[in-house]
Amino acid sequence: MKIEIRWSPPFKLGKYYKLEDPKSLPYGPGIYMFARIYDQETKLIYIGKALNLKGRVKHQLKSSHLREKMKSKPGVSRVLFVGKLQTKSGQEVDKALRIVESALIAHALDEGHDLVNYQGTHISTHKLTFNGNREARNLTGKSMLVRKTSKG
């Protein structure tokens, strides 16, 4: 299945977690990511999917768990990235969104982002570190985070 997401420019979150321009949030299905930016480094906090982006993002901004995680120090800005699913004829929207959300969460964890899950709690991860042969390390990277499963 070919899936396309079209990202909008980031939305700045002002004081009290208000969007600076809420009217420009897109309707329809897509993906959203809350993040903090400090010293040119963007750290993802939450990744989600929605059949109605505008409604879901507004609901998420009221979440006390997410707001607690989004607290920032002076000099740290909070942003929201929104990507609209570019639907194709016959495409299963919910399935496409699940695939993209899952892939983005896995990628964010691999990159070391400290995400919160659907209930606003920390996603438990294992940290894998690879040492030794440089050729093998080039294939695996130096380290990665993987989600803990119910079996460990």
CB atoms within 10 A of CB 17: 17
CB atoms within 10 A of CB 14: 11
Can you give the pTM of this predicted structure? 0.77
Round to whole Å and give the CA distance between 96 and 101. Answer: 9
| Six-digit token string for 108 | 């964010």
Percent of the chain with pLDDT over 70: 84
| Cα angle 144-42-127, degrees, rounded to a multiple of 5 | 15
pLDDT in tens, 117-132: 654 445 677 777 778 8
Residue 94 has pLDDT above 90, yes or no: yes
CA distance to 18, 72, 99, per residue, from 61 (Å): 8, 15, 24
For each of the domains in the chain, give its residue range(s) and CATH number, in order of start. Answer: 5-123 (3.40.1440.10)
Residue 16 has pLDDT above 80, yes or no: no
Q: Which of 10-14, 22-26, 100-104, 146-150 has the lowest mean pLDDT?
A: 146-150
